[in-house]
Amino acid sequence: MRKDPLGVACDFLCRIALHGGAVLVLAHVTRQGVRPLQDLVFGPQAFVGTSVFLPFGVKVICAYFEGWRSVPILAPAALLANEVYWQLPLRSAAMQGALAASYLSVPLAIWLVSRATGLRADRATPSEGWRLRALGGLLAALPGQAGVSLA
């Protein structure tokens, strides 16, 4: 059965809007809620960034359901969130590499965990899917955040 190209394009744009919208909403909550609370509790110099980065959860969920397609799906929102909330110097090659590593690390980590454990997202039970997302997210969080912090 042949897929309708217009339907495929609309589906992809809807995924960008859904996942990207979630990234933007959670970026706003992180910037306007988490960061001020963190500064109040720990002091403004305690962390370079935020201790809790809520959009990361969207990266994990999107990578779990979309696989490698999560990178182009989330890219517009990642760039827009950077412009609106963080103003990281995206003109530098180091920051571009760090941002790419951050968004590529999640589907890569989920793929690695899937290969190592034999769990597959498309065949996982709810508890297996939860473990796959948690392990993949944990594995991706460390180098992804380190890369953004160092750049």
Which residues make Cβ contacts (< 8 Å) with residue 106, sequence separation at least 6?
59, 60, 62, 63, 70, 136, 137, 140, 144
Number of Cβ atoms within 10 Å of the Cβ of 115: 10
**For residues 49 and 7, which has the higher predicted lDDT (pLDDT)?**
7
Burial level of 94, CB count in 10 A (0-12/13-18/19+)? exposed
Mean pLDDT of 132-144: 84
Q: Is the pLDDT of residue 151 over 70?
A: no
- What pLDDT was estimated at residue 146? 58
Which alpha helices (DSSP H) does 52-125 contain, by range? 55-66, 70-81, 93-117
pTM: 0.83
- The closest alpha carbon to 24, from 51, 59, 67, 52, belongs to 59
Q: Tell whether the model's pLDDT for residue 46 goes beyond 60.
A: yes
Q: State the greatest distance between any 2 C-alpha atoms of the chain, in Å, as a whole number.
A: 59
Cα–Cα dist 109/147, whole Å = 15
